[in-house]
Chain A
Amino acid sequence: MVSMRGVQKWFGRLHVLQDIDFDVASGEVVVVIGPSGSGKSTLCRTINRLETIDEGTIEIDGKILPEEGKALAGLRADVGMVFQSFNLFAHKTVLENVTLGPIKVRGQKKSDAEQRAHELLERVGVANQASKLPAQLSGGQQQRVAIARALAMEPKVMLFDEPTSALDPEMIKEVLDTMVDLAERGMTMIVVTHEMGFARTAANRVVFMSDGRIVEENAPEEFFTDPKSDRAKDFLGKILKH
């Protein structure tokens, strides 16, 4: 579904993505972890070209990621994205946030889009908030609306860029539950996160990044119990000993 080959990216002199070869199969759930500054968020954002790359190729569903323009917009419509800071449209109600894409980008009828939006809001558990503005919702509710907004576009793959990092601890679970549910329904997901519990329950594979490189890839259980590289051991030692 997603295929990155020889991807390189620099921020000025900083080599943030180095020789990235990365594949995600259809229906697979891949968790990307690593210390901050390791390039995992950047990796996630290059997949729908919110960040450009300097070398290499990225393919989504067999198609090379286009440059700016209509083709890129069309491809982005098929790639759902959930941000760390939710980024719900602040001037639109919850319902409008979910229907805007289907109506304006997909050209759906308003009534159809609203019906589908209500179903999705029901599914993520915020149906009773449909007429509120994002600022009136808790962080966890906002993030679940953001997931519904992405799902409304019927994406082929979904990107999660640290979806729970800006949330209070008691709200993390409700968002993770929504994501686990999504994974169980067979959605292809790439999730940048520090939530090891999610990786263990829902992921097919864990990708460990450090200093712009993919250092290690493995099934979650093997990775957490028996990391191969020293850097992964060091990282896991730091985050698991609490």
Chain B
Amino acid sequence: MDWLTDNWLSILRGFGETLKLLGLSGAIALVLGTLVALARVSPVPILRGVAIGFVTIFRNTPLLVLILITYYGLPEVGIDFGFFINISLAMGFYTASFVTEAIRSGFNGVPLGQAEAARAIGMPFTQSMSQVVLPQAFRLVVPPLASVFIALTKNTSLAATFGVAEATYRMRGLFNDYASQMIFIFLGIALGYILIVAVISWIATAFERRFAVNAR
């Protein structure tokens, strides 16, 4: 167990980086994905087209390819926020496309009559969304959204390849130093990821409970 007792601080820092990646790319994904989802269901054809294009491009490109583009490609055209943010951008945009689809499925789960009734009393699109459709879609969106963020949590490990010293990167370092204890190191790091995911699931369940009561 000396791999743990001697390195716990470095492992914790690794998970700290993992959480930073998750936080930054998750925030990008949530904000961007919600905006694109609104565009996707808006009455403006151009906005709908842009949203469909966005989802098609970012959902259908492997995440690794997207990271390669933002990591090597963007700095070449003069867009360089530093490798950490550039990698987070790739993860954020990639995940945003899944957030968009999750939220859209939530919209579709709200009966059409709800939006029609909102429009019929004179609410413009934005108001019928914010007052009537979104609050009802929210509850439906929580489970698929939790899955998206769980996937993102695990996807952050790709950043190890690009030298971000997050949990998986630390794990590989430990493999080199404690080759005989590989299985324990692996299980230990996996447990860390499982804890993060468990927290996400717990938050999702709490949200679901809170809003389920409201709708009945």
Instruction: Name A residues whose Cβ lies closer than 8 Å to a Cβ of B.
Output: 48, 50, 68-70, 73-81, 83, 85, 87-91, 100-101, 104-105, 133, 135, 146, 149-150, 153
Contact = CB atoms under 8 A, between A and B. Distances in A.
B117 A87 contact: yes
Nearest to B116: A50
Nearest to A150: B121
Nearest to A88: B117
B124 A70 contact: yes
A48 B120 contact: yes
B121 A105 contact: yes
A101 B121 CA distance: 6
B136 A90 contact: yes
Contact of B132 (A80, A89, A150): A89
A47 to B, nearest CB: 11
A73 B126 CA distance: 11
Nearest to B44: A68
Given A91-B136, A105-B122, 5 more contacts: A78-B122, A83-B120, A87-B111, A90-B136, A91-B214
Given A90-B136, A90-B215, A104-B127, A83 B117 contact: yes
A149 B121 contact: yes
A43 B60 CA distance: 43
B43 interface: yes
Contacts of A133: 215-216
B-side interface size class? 20 to 34
A105 B116 contact: no
B196 interface: no
A101 B53 CA distance: 35
Contact of A153 (B118, B122, B124, B214): B122
B89 to A, nearest CB: 34
A156 to B, nearest CB: 12
Contacts of B215: 90-91, 133
B131 interface: yes
B119 interface: yes
Interface of B: 43, 111, 113-114, 116-124, 127, 131-132, 135-136, 214-216
Nearest to B110: A90
Contacts of B127: 104-105
Nearest to A70: B124
A153 B43 contact: no
Contacts of B131: 100, 104
A135 B123 CA distance: 23
Nearest to B120: A81
Given A100-B131, A135-B216, A73 B117 contact: no
Interface-centre pick from A76, A88, A133 (highest chain B CB count, 10 A):
A76
A91 B135 contact: yes
Contact of A90 (B43, B114, B122): B114
A10 B121 CA distance: 26
Identify the 9 closest CB pairs spanning chains A and B, nearest first.
A77-B122, A87-B113, A87-B117, A101-B121, A81-B120, A73-B124, A105-B122, A76-B122, A73-B122
Nearest to B117: A87
A135 B214 CA distance: 11
Interface-centre pick from A83, A101, A153 (highest chain B CB count, 10 A):
A101
Interface-centre pick from B119, B135, B136 (highest chain A CB count, 10 A):
B119
B122 A74 contact: yes
Contacts of B116: 50, 83, 87
Nearest to B113: A87
Contacts of B136: 90-91
Nearest to A152: B121
A48 B135 CA distance: 25
